[in-house]
Structure 1
Amino acid sequence: MGYRWSSRGEFWGYLATFLHTTLHAPVREPYKDLRAILRDKDYFILTTNQDTQAIKVFPEEKVAQIQGDHRFFQCSQQCTDAVWDATKKIDELYDYLEEHDTIVIPDEMIPRCPHCGAEAFPWVPGYGNFLEGSRYQEQYQKISDDIEKHLHDKHVLFLELGVGRMTPMFIQEPFWALTNNLPGAFDVMVNRNYQFLPAQIEDKGVAIKGDLARVLKDVRAQLGCCTRTFDPHKEKQK
């Protein structure tokens, strides 16, 4: 993303290809295995991934995307609190590149804010001033509401799936604090590079150093989770 492109058109040629790839990517195996493991369980997904894999698998009301979403654009100047659908425009840009066998988007096709005309960019951190507006607050409210709902449950399991140390403040540290403070909480950390838990929760958690895809596949097999196709958008969660 930090590459010095020769023009904004060349930058958008790259960006359109990148976003089209993530938006149309098939669901990966770890997500399928997690879906099978969580079937018929009361769960909530908190993710910092922006690639839409989670909302392809789980109902949107069960997912909080607290670091943005590739499906939306925002104004680069933050002239408005609104974010808007990017999927149709991304497909349009990608089709142009394919049809004209080029890597450059014409200036007149570069996405712009419908309110002020400033250049748009994906509603994720890393491109400029990430908009922490109403949609951002909505995502945090979803996870906050779910945690509050379960504060007095006899058992609460927190799963850190592939959460690293680059941004521990979004998922890892809140999970550790909740595990430490909730009597019935237990934390499971799965990471291919790290294997540790804070001393305060060493007796209330386990750290697994290993490949997440393998771990979830093994858990699914151990639990005997069904292999039939499961669509959580059509079946009621218990």
Structure 2
Amino acid sequence: MTSYEQLVIELTHRSFSHQAAYRNGGTPYDLSDCNPVPYGQQIETFTRMIEEADCVLVGGASGLSAAGGGDFYYEDNATYRKHFGKFAERYGFRGAFEGSFYRWPTAEARWGYLATFLDTTLNAPLREPYKDLDAILAEKDFFVLTTNQDTQFMKIYPWEKVAEIQGDHRFFQCSRCCTDEVWDAIEPVSRMVEAMGDGLVVPTELVPRCPHCGAEAFPWVRGYGNFLQGELYEEQYCKVSDWLDVHAQQKILFLELGVGRITPAFIQEPFWALTAQLPQASYIAVNNKTRFLPRAIEGRGMAIRADIADVLVDVRKTLGR
């Protein structure tokens, strides 16, 4: 087990005794009570911290994609209706994730929905906040850790620069985990969507199945089913752990973008712990809903409560990129 995975497991176990705090949108950590400085000063500080850092570990979560238009997961909004309108009308879903946990009557109906979901993310253009973040990181040694499964980071960075610890919409796995293999989802998803047309179900022969045991396949993502924590999963933790080992003695900036309250133990809380442990580390969080900065790192950190897209645009402009 790698060092970062071990940290995640320890923090996840610790969180079990504080579920009430998380359910209420909070955190059990002792937070700084310092008043935030004006927004313009926050942008200047963000810019200075980027320039002074030797390297940056980005923690990109759902709020980053939502800031660029990927806001259909939990909301019944115009974006959701554009891509999932026929399912909303038929089943009354109020966000994409509702359909992911629905008890579908048949595999054909389930894959009508899942194929639509995967096709929506796989074919989404690179969102503006990702472009702005890339410009901000242009002159830095950096690595990306993400809980997003929507492949946005993979549209811009090579495999070795990104750790996807919650899975990736581009891959299928066996729902029974009979094999450690994952395989391509892009082509099967395209075929299902084309065959479905304006309907809600896919043909029986297109329901994806495991090439080894014949069981129904599933997207290789945590949350849909029996998530395969095999070789590919361990590779993701190896990438981020190895990067941290190499850069531990440098001035690392931990940059957290859009972490919500569902899985703070994957990015947010490890970033807090590592900032406290590493003497030259610093920390920035940007979130449009919370401003969480632990008291233990308030002298080396900053939390900005604002729209992530706006913040990244303003930092990019301040950097002159």
Identity of aligned residues (%): 62
Find the counterpart in structure 1 of residue 133 from structure 2: 34
Alignment of 1:37-186 (within 5 A): 37-98=136-197, 101-153=198-250, 155-186=251-282
Do 2:196 and 2:203's aligned partners in 1 also have CA atoms closer than 8 Å?
Answer: no
1:68-116 per-position Cα deviation (integer Å, ceiling 9, x unaligned): 0000000000100111111111111111112xx4221122210000000
Q: Deviations over 1:29-54 (max 9, x none)?
A: 00000011111210000000000001
Taking the aligned partners of 1:58 and 1:161, their CA distance within structure 2 comes to: 17
1:163 CA displacement: 1.2
Instruction: Using CA pairs under 8 Å that are at least 6 residues apart, name the structure with larger relative contact order, 1 or 2.
Output: 2
List alignment gaps of at least 5 residues for structure 1: 226-238
TM-score, normalised to structure 2, is 0.68
> Matched residues in 1 for 2:210 and 2:106: separation?
19
Tell me, which stretches of 5 or more residues in structure 2 are unaligned?
1-99
Question: Are 1:219 and 2:318 matched, yes or no?
Answer: no
Contact preservation (8 Å) 2:293, 2:302: yes
Per-residue CA deviation, residues 171-215 of structure 1 (Å, 9 max, x unaligned), is 111111110011110000111111121111011100100110110
Equivalence for 1:13 = 112
Contact kept, 8 Å, 1:35 with 1:58, in 2: the verdict is no
Give SS of 2:200's match: coil
What is the distance in 2 between the residues matched to 1:3 and 1:220?
A: 41
Matched, 1:2 2:101: yes
Name which of 207, 212, 215 aligns with 2:303: 207
In structure 1, C-alpha distance between the alignment counterparts of 2:229 and 2:315, rounded to whole Å = 36
CA distance in 2, matches of 1:167, 1:17: 25
Aligned partner of residue 73 in structure 1, secondary structure = strand
Normalised to the residue count of structure 1, the TM-score between the two structures is 0.91
**Aligned equivalent of 1:236:** none
**Aligned counterparts of 2:226 and 2:201: Cα–Cα separation in 1:** 24
Partner SS state of residue 72, structure 1: strand
Q: Is the contact made by 1:49 and 1:65 (CA closer than 8 Å) also made in structure 2?
A: yes
Alignment-mate amino acid for residue 3 of structure 1: Y
Contact 2:104 / 2:110 at 8 angstroms: preserved in 1? yes
